[in-house]
Amino acid sequence: MAHDPLGVIRRELQLTFTGSPGREPDWSAALADGDDAGFLGPGSAAWAVHGSMAPIVAGVRALMMQALHPGALAGVYEHSRFREDPLGRLAGTIRWIFTVTYGDTRTARAASSYVLGLHRAVTGTYLDATGRQRPYAANDPDLLRWVHLAFTDSFLTAHQIWGSTWGGPGAIPGGADAYVAEWAVAGELMGVVDPPRTAAELRRQLDTYLTDGKLAHSDRLDEVMRFLRSPGLSPALRPGYRVLYAGAIASLREPYRRLLGLPVPRLGPVRLPTVAATRLVLAGVRLVLGRRGPTETSARRRLARLTAGTAGGPGPDRP
């Protein structure tokens, strides 16, 4: 059989994102089931943002942002198997995001409850920015809020830079405020009280953590950042990942990039336009994987079935 380099890259990407190379993962196919349209749907801001290639960069950026909170960092560092199984953790996060985005309400609730259940065992102590030892639990309201803010800001920012079909700025139905308001449902499902519903409020809440001194640089943060810089991916994916990692850094606002101890990204011996290079890599990923992902396809099958009247149920509600 002839060597198929694109096929190799496709399988490695599928393994990285879903853990199921060569086939649709079972959880994604199951999104065709269900009795209602879900919390979100076609034409929503969330479908536009999460259906582009920009979330690949957003995921890396969100991990950087989350790690700035010593409590959130302690939970990942002490309880996660990110060193031994980085792809497994990534695939689990992707599964939750896409289940809430594309699943019916019952499945979205169940997925969120499952994650919250895993969090119950994630407890310990950490040193805050002043050096004081504090207790933490992954389900603490303060940590849940920070993680939600970091995710929302990262996905919104990455889409605004790279969310179009070929990696240019992405349009959002209803604008940035619509995405923040819609994705607030994910925060509520995870126990966040009154998550932001406008882009301005999102930034205000984010920056409160910075101005209140809740974020900090540490040796542990440096270790996690070294891992993120080179997470043990397949050799076929490493060149592209280096570009996407640089893109994630370039998309950070200066106060957060400075606190992470990251320089302005440089690609190769000469400075290249990082945003443009990231755009090319994301366009390549889209060519390899296709325009529409399997999770969206499964959701559309469910919606078509419901519309045709072969099954019915209540419309989306709120948690």
266-305 pLDDT, tens digit per residue, is 655 444 588 999 999 999 888 887 767 789 999 999 999 9
Asked whether the predicted pLDDT for residue 251 surpasses 80, the reply is yes
Question: Does 6 fall in a domain?
Answer: no
For residue 265, the 8-state DSSP code is P
Q: Which domain holds residue 75?
A: 12-21+28-308
Q: What is the pLDDT of residue 312?
A: 43
Asked whether the predicted pLDDT for residue 38 surpasses 60, the reply is yes
Number of domains observed in the structure of the chain: 1
Question: Does 274 fall in a domain?
Answer: yes
Under the banding of pLDDT at 50, 70 and 90, the label for residue 130 is confident
Asked whether the predicted pLDDT for residue 140 surpasses 80, the reply is yes
Question: Does 135 fall in a domain?
Answer: yes
Are the CB atoms for 67 and 76 separated by under 8 Å?
yes
Q: What are the backbone dihedrals phi and psi of residue 125, each rounded to the nearest 5 degrees, phi first?
A: -130, 160
Q: Looking at per-residue confidence, does 141 or 310 come out higher?
A: 141
Question: Does 248 fall in a domain?
Answer: yes
Q: What is the pLDDT of residue 313?
A: 44
Mean pLDDT score, 64-91: 79
Question: Does 316 fall in a domain?
Answer: no
Question: Does 314 fall in a domain?
Answer: no
Are the CB atoms for 84 and 220 separated by under 8 Å?
no
Question: Does 226 fall in a domain?
Answer: yes
What pTM was computed for the model?
Answer: 0.88
Residue 4 Ramachandran class (φ > 0 left, ψ -120 to 50 alpha, else beta)? beta
Question: Does 5 fall in a domain?
Answer: no
